[in-house]
């Protein structure tokens, strides 16, 4: 089992999750850090850190957005909901590493830079 690249539909599901959990709550837990003037290694390290923070937060609040979280993780792992529930905890670190390796491209970083800049203007 391998993770896959983020697709547009994933962003829409993620937005539903953020809406249900509250942007301010997620932002206060994960924080917002600028990636301006950071080198690629620093950005990759920050992405790893933030990915684990987001996943930890989501796992702690599954009951609030359970269906959307399951849908998102099932899509990323290429599994059905039932298969997702049977993934061993020992398999998650490798899946997370795969996901980060596939999704730490310049396009993804650029997308989130622009998205966060827009969010910060509206908050």
Token output for 117: 């800049």
SS3 content of the chain, % helix, strand, coil (to 5): 75, 0, 25
Whether 106 is in a domain gets the answer yes
Residue 30 lies in a domain: yes
Token pair in block for residue 120: 């910060």
Our count of domains for the chain comes to: 1
At 62 the pLDDT is 76
Where in the sequence is the domain holding 13, given as residue range(s)?
8-122
Q: Is the pTM of this model over 0.75?
A: no
pLDDT in tens, the chain (123 residues): 788 888 889 888 988 887 887 777 777 877 878 888 888 888 888 888 888 887 787 777 778 888 898 899 899 898 999 999 899 999 988 888 888 788 766 767 777 777 777 666 655
């Amino acid at each position: 089992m391998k993770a896959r690249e983020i697709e547009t539909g994933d962003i829409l599901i993620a937005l539903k999750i953020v809406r249900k959990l509250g942007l301010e709550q997620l932002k206060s837990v994960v924080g917002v850090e600028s990636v301006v003037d950071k080198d690629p290694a620093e950005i990759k390290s920050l992405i790893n850190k933030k990915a684990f923070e987001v996943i930890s937060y989501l796992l702690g609040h599954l009951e609030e957005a359970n269906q959307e979280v399951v849908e998102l993780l099932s899509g990323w792992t290429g599994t059905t909901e039932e298969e997702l529930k049977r993934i061993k905890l020992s398999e998650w670190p490798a899946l997370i590493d795969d996901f980060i390796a596939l999704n730490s491209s310049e396009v993804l970083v650029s997308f989130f830079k622009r998205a966060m800049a827009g969010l910060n203007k509206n908050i």
